[in-house]
Structures are given as C-alpha cells and as structure tokens.
C-alpha cells in the first residue's frame, strides 16, 4: 500500500510553485499525494522566512500539524530551514526532518520515506497545482537572487540566481496545457533576470515568446518584475497577443531616494515612475501593483510621505504592504531599528487604507467591460461562481460548477464587497 503525502504552504507564489514541485516529485517517488488536511503518513510544511510573522506561522503550523497528525512524519522545507540554526530547530521537536536544500535533498529524502521500491507516475505541474487546491498553474522559471538588498534574507535562504532551462519549462507548460491548464503564472524570486547567467539580455522576453509560440490557448501572467527589467522587448509582447495578462507587479519598497539607497535598491523614485509610465504607454489599461516596505531604519515622516506621493502620482492600482522586520544575517539587522512598533503599525495602517482606496478606484472603472475570468470557486448557497480576471481582480457571476477551471467571458455590471459583479456573456446568434 502506497504511503500518503500532503503539503502545506506558507509564503509567496514561488513557495506555491515549490510545493507543486514537491507534489510532482512525491508522485514520481510512489506516494499517493492527497490535499492538505487529509490523513497523511508524510506531511511537508513548505515554509517562508521573509518576516518574523512568517517564522511564527511556520512554528504554529508545525505544532498544529503534529496535533492533527500525531503519527505522521513531518518535514520542514522551504526558506525557514535554510536560515534556522540548531537553537531554532531545537525549539520545534515536532519536526522530524529539516530540508534545507530541496535541489539536492528532496529526491533522496522522498526515496527513504516512501519505503517502497515501486516507482510512481509523473504528473504535470497543472495536476500538482490542482492537488494543492490551485485552479491556475504556478510555473517556476528561476530561483535565487544575486542582489543583496540590505533588508532581504531571501538570497541567504535560496542562494544565487539560477534559471530553469527553457526547454524544460516549455515541455512542462505544453504537458500542463494538455492536461487542462488555462493560466500559467510565471514565478520565481527574480524572474526579470531569467537567462542572465547565460548572458541573455532578453531572457525573460524570449522565454515568454517561446511559451506563447509553443502553447495554443493558455494565458500567461508575469510575477513580480523589477522596475529596470521592464524592457521594450518584454513590453512589446503585450501588444502582440491577448494571451499575456495586462497585469504587472513592480516592487517600489520606498518612494524616498535616501531610503532606497540605504536599502541597496538599484533605482530611485524617478526610475520607478519611469517604469510605470513606460508600462502604461505600452499596455493601455494595464493594472499595476507595487510592494511597499514601511518602517525601514532611518525612515522619517518625510520619507514616508515621499512614498505616498510616488504611489499617488504614479497611478498605482494596489499595494502589498509590509512592516520592516530585521532578519538575522542581513545588513540592516546590524543597524539600530529606530522605528517603534507603534509607528510601524500606524504607517502600515495608513498605507493599507491607501491600498483600499486604490483598489476601489480600479474596480470602479470596470463596469461595462467584458473580462476573461478563470473560474476558481463555486458558491452553492448563492448559485454563484468567482474567479480571477486578466487584470488579477476577482469577479463573481451566476453559473454552474461545471465551469470550474474554465474561462468565462463576463460582462461586469457593478462593484460590491471589494470585487466585481457581472453576468456570463452570451453573444447573439
């Protein structure tokens, strides 16, 4: 009888893609892979360590998993094991195995834990994501980062930048589309640097073009792109196809040049503004989001207001807001954290309110439009479906569960509760 394995995930979209990679490897190793929450013999906690809160979530999830699965083998994988020293690990006796380097350690660990010589059957990225509960496919194209931003622990956790070979990505994409995938989210830690280790100046643009050429209908969505990596070649692809989602996420972190310099970010506020202008000129109607890190050491009230000013003057459509959290091993962890917790909470609250207003402003421009919605959920009590549009916003409309994981053309009629309401569009005969 095959052992059962499940994966729980803490973290970003790259972590979701990593979890799918664990699922694919486990299936090939002979495990029966089951959704999280079901009884399992082996349970992976695929972790994050970008903030103190993420570390807390890892610990809480490990303890809850041990209570709910007392006989299971628990494995902690992802970024947390790569930075957790022996003292930290000793505080989590619930964990049986710590997997610090999945690139080399995942296969041998699964082979030991499977305890069965029978090989399993490989599955696609789409199938792995479905097991994890995702309706779209997180397609990882690279890992690691060569930048050394003063606050960021990710290079310590994931190592240097490295690209997945294009032929492998395309092969996996083609198979996933054949299995039913309707959207690929190209993800990683620094995807704008794709192919740079091979001195490819337009590695990401070339990869996207190849994926569009070798698949037939699946749409592509880009993960986070640094301001200086929005090249003309990449932006031109949006004009050539409607299969590339008009949705970009461009990290800002701060709108203050002195703070950006202390952060070791490779651009200034004007460089960020320029990237947004170029994106809007190349992709009319594009929805643009930004990361904002508040409470960085030395951030004054004027610095914070400069960030607000850049966001408002750039016409950003939404924010991901994070309070600064000193991470051991980073440059800024050695500096005095001179922003109080109270001040950080106030600035996060202020920026979160700005985010709310920006999101509503974008939504209020959508009624009357026809959007392509990937159906992700069925709400039986209301007889409604919901899913994600090409712009990355949720839309709700009446429909049956047979539409799950399929595309629907939806005419937007109104805005309610932070999402769009509409009806499935059926053209006249």
Crossing angle for the helix pair 301-314 and 341-363, to the nearest 10 degrees: 10
Residue 429 is predicted with a pLDDT of: 44
* Series of mean pLDDT values for 10-residue runs along the chain (429 residues): 92 93 95 91 94 91 94 96 92 95 92 80 95 95 96 94 97 97 97 94 97 97 96 96 97 98 97 97 96 97 98 97 94 94 97 98 97 95 94 96 93 95 79
The CB density around residue 68, as the number of other CB atoms within 10 Å, is 12
Where helices occur in 161-300 by DSSP H, the ranges are 166-179, 203-214, 232-240, 257-263, 269-282
Q: Choose the final residue of a domain: 84, 114, 144.
A: 114
Contacts 24+ apart (CB under 8 A), 145-148: 145/189, 145/190, 145/193, 146/190, 146/193, 147/190, 147/264, 147/266, 148/264, 148/331
**CA 263 from centre of chain:** 22
**C-beta of residue 286 within 8 angstroms of C-beta of residue 248:** yes
CATH number for position 320: 3.30.750.200
Tokens 């909470």 sit on residue: 345
**C-beta of residue 185 within 8 angstroms of C-beta of residue 139:** yes
Tokens 């992709």 sit on residue: 283
Could you tell me if 44 and 67 lie in one domain?
Answer: yes
Residue 427 is predicted with a pLDDT of: 65
In this structure, is residue 131 part of a structural domain? no
Could you tell me if 339 and 375 lie in one domain?
Answer: no
Predicted model pTM: 0.94
In this structure, is residue 126 part of a structural domain? no
Residue 115 is predicted with a pLDDT of: 79
CA 286/CA 373 separation, integer angstroms: 16
The domain total for the chain is 4
Could you tell me if 168 and 208 lie in one domain?
Answer: yes
Three-state DSSP at 221 gives strand
Domain that holds residue 417: 370-424
Could you tell me if 67 and 146 lie in one domain?
Answer: no
Sort strands 42-47 and 73-78 into parallel, antiparallel or unpaired. Answer: parallel
The CB density around residue 249, as the number of other CB atoms within 10 Å, is 18
Could you tell me if 195 and 173 lie in one domain?
Answer: yes
Tokens of 415: 């805005």
């Amino acid at each position: 009888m095959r052992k059962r394995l499940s994966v729980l995930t803490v973290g970003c979209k790259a972590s979701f893609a990593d979890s799918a990679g664990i699922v694919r490897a486990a299936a090939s190793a002979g495990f029966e892979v089951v959704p999280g929450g079901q009884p399992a013999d082996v349970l992976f906690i695929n972790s994050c360590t970008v903030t103190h809160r993420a570390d807390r979530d890892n610990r809480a999830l490990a303890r809850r998993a041990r209570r709910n699965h007392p006989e299971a083998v628990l494995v902690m994988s992802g970024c947390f094991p790569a930075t957790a020293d022996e003292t930290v690990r000793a505080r989590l006796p619930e964990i049986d195995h710590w997997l610090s380097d999945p690139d080399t350690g995942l296969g041998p660990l699964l082979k030991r834990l499977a305890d069965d010589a029978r090989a399993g059957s490989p599955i696609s990225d789409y199938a792995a994501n479905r097991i994890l509960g995702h309706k779209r496919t997180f397609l990882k194209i690279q890992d690691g980062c060569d930048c050394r931003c003063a606050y960021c622990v990710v290079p310590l956790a994931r190592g240097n930048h490295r690209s997945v070979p294009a032929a492998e990505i395309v092969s996996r994409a083609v198979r996933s589309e054949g299995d039913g995938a309707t959207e690929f989210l190209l993800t990683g830690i620094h995807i704008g640097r794709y192919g740079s280790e091979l001195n490819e100046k337009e590695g990401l643009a070339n990869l996207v073009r190849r994926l569009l050429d070798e698949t037939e209908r699946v749409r592509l969505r880009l993960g986070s792109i640094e301001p200086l990596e929005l090249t003309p070649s990449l932006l031109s692809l949006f004009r050539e196809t409607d299969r590339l989602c008009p949705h970009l996420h461009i990290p800002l972190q701060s709108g203050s040049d002195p703070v950006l310099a202390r952060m070791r970010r490779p651009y200034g506020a004007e460089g960020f503004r320029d990237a947004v202008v170029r994106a809007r000129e190349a992709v009319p109607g594009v929805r643009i989001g930004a990361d904002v890190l508040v409470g960085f050491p030395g951030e004054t009230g004027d610095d914070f207001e400069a960030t607000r000013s850049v966001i408002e003057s750039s016409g950003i459509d939404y924010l991901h807001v994070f309070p600064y959290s000193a991470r051991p091993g980073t440059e800024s962890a050695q500096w005095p954290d001179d922003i109080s917790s109270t001040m950080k909470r106030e600035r996060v609250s202020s920026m979160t309110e700005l985010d709310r207003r920006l999101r509503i402003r974008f939504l209020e421009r959508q009624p009357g439009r026809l959007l392509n919605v990937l159906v992700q959920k069925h709400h039986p009590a209301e007889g409604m479906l919901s899913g994600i549009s090409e712009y990355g916003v949720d839309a709700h409309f009446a429909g049956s569960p047979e539409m799950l994981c399929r595309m629907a053309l939806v005419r937007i009629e109104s805005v309610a509760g932070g999402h769009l309401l509409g009806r499935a569009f059926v053209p006249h005969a």
